[in-house]
Chain A
Amino acid sequence: MDGRAVEQNFYISGMTCASCVARVEKALVDLRGVTDASVNLATEKATVRGTASPAEVIAVVDRAGYKATKVEDSSQRRAPARRQGVASWWPVLAAALLTAPLVAPMVAQLFGGDWMLPGWLQLVLATPVQFWLGARFYRAGWKAVRALSGNMDLLVAIGTSAAYGLSVYLLVAQPGHGMPHLYFESSAVVITLVLLGKWLESRAKLQTVEAISALEALRATEAIVRRNGKDFVVPVDEVCEGDLLVVRPGGRVPADGTVVEGCSHLDESLLTGESLPVTKKPGDRVTGGAVNAEGMLVVKATAVGAATMLSQIIKLVEDAQAVKAPIQRLVDRVSAVFVPVVLLISLVTLAGWGLATGDWQQALLNAVAVQVIACPCALGLATPTSIMVGTGVAARHGILIKDAEALETAHALDMVVFDKTGTLTEGKPKVVAIEGASPRRVLELAWAAQQYSDHPLAKAVAEAAIDQHLAPPSAVNACALPGRGVRADLDGVTVYLGNLRLMEELGAAIGALHQAAEIHEDNGRTVSYLAVEAGGQVRVEGLLAFGDRIKASAQSAVARLADMGLTSMMLSGDNKGAARSVAAALGIGHFVAEILPADKAQVVAETMQSGKMVGMVGDGINDAPALAAADVGFAMAGGADVAMHTAGITLMRGDPALVADAIDISHRTYRKIRQNLGWAFIYNAVGIPLAAFGLLNPMLAGAAMALSSVSVVGNALLLRRWEPAEAGKQAMSTHGAATPSLKGAKTTMYELTVEGMSCGHPLAA
């Protein structure tokens, strides 16, 4: 390694419980050059940060008694999990078959039968269970002893050995005195049940990673590449940026790109959670993994391999599952002392019972029960399994949670701050009115001023100008005035297009246009003024009013947040009238209008200072600082990548309803974590004393322990049933005159492809 601090991932095999996690973590952190290490029992993976080389990491893990393998790249990350995921079933069956004859006489005894097997036969049946099928407990326990620590396997090994050893002693020491009471069935049943529990647990654990498997299944394996007019089928790894990819009907888009030819619908449901297919035409961006419907598309690849959206989503979900939730650190501290404490309690039980009653046989059995019932695995699995299932199910519905911390914070939010444009509104404004002495001239100058801008308002101006068949303008020295507008030189004059703030700064009088502007603003439209500077005089020539459509689900999203006890707030760079109109339509009580991009973070920070937990929802580059400043940032995908990187939670659709869904899944995941941890703590806190006071026999204790981890994982898996709330979709428009039928009507825009239209008839049909 060249001394640079890097993050590396390792597969760790041989871990069985929270104590193992603590031990591997301790060994890694103690290694020179490692700054941070985090081990996840559910994914059996370690993330190591620092300058230590992979060989050093592998060696130190080996000394701790486990096996580490370096995870090479993200696409291979899951492969070992699938191979190692499910423990084989045959040891469970073999143990059960050997144990059944030992248990059957005990059951028969309850009904008055006497089928007690001879002692030597019991020994023959119990020995393979103890030392062959149960060998893994000795091996794992021995590793723990060598590393001067303890784990669940050690407890099982000591406990069952004690019962087995006692039985052998009784059999050998008391020959001829009739049939001594033996405890072979106890040791065999405990081992069988623990094996069964481990097997069930490994099956359940595998289901917790199914969200990632589902995403990985979206990767195309082959791509059709068009080179020099000919189509070749190549493995997807050989696709390069800039390649032309042919996507046939029913095929999968192999990489991210832009459509250059063809029209079709793409099913992106597994990537975005959007259930309806999305129309794609030349110029539209497509995401690798989407399924093509009826048409053929030619796509120019813009991102391949690890750079694709799909790879990044998978990495994000995996990283979220690898990072420890803050609550897990507490659990790890408890686990570190858990096994030694249990061994101590077990010794006290043995000594206490033995000295008090003189019945050392019973004392030993009680001590065994203590060791067997103690279950550090339930503690170790409680948090990671809940987080994996929670983040997994959220990803399936288009909500990507970057880390467990975002998940933990999101459930405690008091307030959600929305950026208006592109978040609550569609961010695709249209010119709905032009006021001034010569509207055509106003539009012409406006187009000239912002022809190089890619601001949504600039696009709206260009669209309107092209609609009116204006000639392309030829402005020079065009520049943006952030938060105010644009400026350009044209035919010897300087043209300004911007908001009221810009006009005030220029000292330009609005005059008679003031009234028209007020009416537009009251109708929720955004107003831009056009001013011309000539001969040192700045004169306002006219104004353009833009209308934007409020997103269909925005109102119900805000209402749902209110139902959940969260206050909503809106930030907008627009004028007060436009902001007020949108806020009123959506039922948002607080809003800040005419805000500069740089001040958004400031507003968020001030709100946080008042003691509130604040979530910020935005989509643009200019929202990134505010997203980072908030307790939890929600980035709407489709917006800027930088927004996605700074936000804790990424919403794969531009649907504000996902904010409430994300907070909801966070609530539910945290409830599961608390339930699981509570259950694991109570189980141990009740079970251990019961066993110590001699109220549990070792077999019951074994069954309880096997059930406890299975129930923790099973409870976490219940989260998979989570479905986002079905919101009543409502559309509103501030387009006003341009779309008169929409105003106030609660309608939704649909696009249908219809066959059989050959002439103009259908229009009138």
Chain B
Amino acid sequence: MTKSVQSLDESAGVTVDLLTKKVRVDSRADIGKIAAAIDEAGYPVTARSAA
């Protein structure tokens, strides 16, 4: 998942919390593109927000 996000923005910071199923992404990329990249990696995004 980190790779898929960093393929959009290599300087993106990605933190995954398996317990809460939350992924925090700090990036200059568009949230839509980030969600699409994670979706494509096989992990459906069910909610998103600006943190």
Contacts and interface: CB of A to CB of B under 8 A. Distances in A.
Contacts of A742: 13, 26
A762 B20 CA distance: 14
A367 interface: no
A753 to B, nearest CB: 4
A749 B28 contact: no
Given A265-B49, A755-B44, A756-B43, A750 B4 contact: no
Interface in A260-288: 263, 265, 276-279
A8 to B, nearest CB: 43
B27 A747 contact: yes
Given A279-B49, A748-B27, A753 B22 contact: yes
A293 B46 CA distance: 10
A178 interface: no
A749 B1 contact: no
Contact size range, B: 20 to 34
A757 B26 contact: no
Interface string B1-24: 111100001011100101011111
Interface in A725-757: 739, 741-742, 745-757
A760 B46 CA distance: 19
B47 A764 contact: no
A765 interface: yes
Given A263-B20, A746-B28, A763 B50 contact: no
A750 B21 contact: no
A135 B6 CA distance: 75
Given A745-B11, A752-B47, A765 B24 contact: no
Contacts of B18: 757, 759-760
Contact size range, A: 20 to 34
Contact of A757 (B12, B28, B43): B43
A36 interface: no
B11 to A, nearest CB: 6
B16 A757 contact: yes
A752 B22 CA distance: 6
Contacts of A741: 11, 13, 26
A750 B49 contact: yes
B1 A763 contact: yes
A757 B45 CA distance: 11
A423 B46 CA distance: 31
Select the residue from B2, B9, B51 with max chain A CB neighbours within 10 A: B51
Interface string A26-50: 0000000000000000000000000
B4 to A, nearest CB: 7
Contacts of A753: 21-23, 45-48
Given A753-B21, A756-B42, A757-B18, A745 B47 contact: no
Contacts of B34: 750, 752
A754 B43 CA distance: 6
B22 A751 contact: yes
B41 to A, nearest CB: 6
A54 to B, nearest CB: 48
Select the residue from A276, A739, A746, A752 with max chain B CB neighbours within 10 A: A752
A765 B50 contact: no
B42 to A, nearest CB: 7
Interface of B: 1-4, 9, 11-13, 16, 18, 20-28, 31, 34-35, 38, 41-51
17 contacts: A276-B50, A552-B50, A745-B28, A749-B24, A750-B31, A750-B48, A752-B35, A752-B47, A754-B38, A755-B44, A756-B42, A757-B21, A762-B1, A763-B2, A764-B3, A765-B2, A765-B3
Given A279-B51, A750-B26, 14 more contacts: A279-B49, A739-B26, A745-B28, A747-B27, A748-B28, A749-B26, A750-B48, A750-B49, A754-B23, A754-B38, A754-B43, A754-B45, A755-B46, A756-B43
**Shortest Cβ-Cβ A-B pairs, 3 listed:** A751-B51, A753-B47, A762-B1
